A = this chain, B = another copy of it.
Amino acid sequence: MGNDARKPTIIDVARESGVSIKTVSRVLNGEPYVNRATLDKVMKAIHDLGYHPNMSARTLAGKRSYLLGHLYGDPAGPYTMEIQVGLLNRCRARGYHLLIEEIDYRGQDVERRVRAVLDWLRPDGVVLTAPITDEPRVLSVLTESGIPLVRVTAESGGDTFSSVWIDERQAAAALTRHLLSLGHRRIGLIKGPANHGATERRHLGYRDALAELGIAEDPDLIEHGAFTFPSALPCAERLLSLPEPPTAIFACNDEMAAAVIVVAQARGLSLPDDLSVAGFDDCPIASMTWPPLTTVRQPMRKLGEEAADLLISRLMERPRGDATVPHRLVSHDLVVRASTAPPKAQNPARRRTRKAG
């Protein structure tokens, strides 16, 4: 209330600048072939009037909504949320807006949920983040609808879907090499869930690095977590209870690495002397543990920014029939912090009992 002042429309701008609404529309959409003087007049009118185009009218008349949909299966996870910040950054810069939708990929009606989002919101494009980048039901609905989509951190190759990714295999190998170079030879691995693409990629990197030194993988040292903190607790317990426990543990994400630290501390181990721990992602938690975690930094905001850029650029070029499926590789960093060090005792896990020194 108070401001009955009707918001200015394209008609007001046209009148103010003495041209047709079609010409204003041309300026709004950055179309070529607008006389320089005309353009200036229109720009001035837009500015003077404080005009903003009405999104709904644009969407209804044109064929685009200027909306990107972010579909994710991991509500409030730090990894997903950081990517979202990146998406938001680029949407803002390029005149798009972000609609978010959580998809419970373990639920019964995944297809219906995804379809509903498309039908109701009609976003121009969709960004998929792990762990639903590889969910067949989600992908099938999306493919069938023909909507442009980009997947963040999924399998690189493939000529079906566009993606933004980091080389997780190589990153995992680099991290494992770091551990090996410190002198560790028994390195525990806590994997993610089997249905998650990253799980296999990181495992392969671990195996690559071991193979370089001619070390065979010991199945006893491989545990399956679920990329969550609680899931890694029993994994860590089992690893540290082995007759010959590992001197280092590589958890495939930071939350699981934090769990390893907690278990180790509860057992009275002194870190990193008795046990080296490494994670993956460089989420905020990686800097909040004691000792802070050695990990692989995934530039999550950047992944989001690249994804939005890729998608929006694709939407801007008219011929949406072209068969190019672009991929973007983003670089990662090995971040060495205090949670990794050379192994000290031969049999650290045995040396101590449950009581802290």
Contact = CB atoms under 8 A, between A and B. Distances in A.
B288 A229 contact: yes
B65 A76 contact: no
B60 A56 contact: yes
A144 B229 contact: no
A93 interface: no
A78 B75 contact: no
A200 interface: no
A101 B259 CA distance: 33
Number of copies: 2
A242 interface: no
A270 interface: yes
Given A88-B100, A122-B55, A3 B146 contact: yes
Contacts of A97: 99, 120-121
Contact of A57 (B53, B60, B284): B60
B55 A120 contact: yes
A229 B288 CA distance: 7
Contacts of A145: 3
B290 A261 contact: yes
A213 interface: no
B76 A82 contact: yes
Nearest to A258: B288
Interface string A36-69: 0000000000000010111111011000010000
Interface string A103-121: 0000000000000100111
B88 A84 contact: no
A262 interface: yes
Contact of A266 (B259, B290, B357): B290
A335 B356 CA distance: 25
A53 B56 CA distance: 13
A7 B146 CA distance: 14
Contacts of A101: 88, 92
26 contacts: A2-B144, A3-B144, A3-B146, A52-B116, A53-B120, A54-B60, A54-B122, A55-B121, A56-B57, A60-B60, A76-B85, A84-B100, A92-B101, A97-B121, A98-B99, A229-B288, A255-B288, A261-B290, A262-B289, A262-B292, A265-B290, A266-B290, A285-B285, A285-B288, A288-B289, A357-B357
Which 5 interchain pairs have the tightest Cβ spacing?
Answer: A357-B357, A56-B59, A52-B119, A76-B81, A56-B60
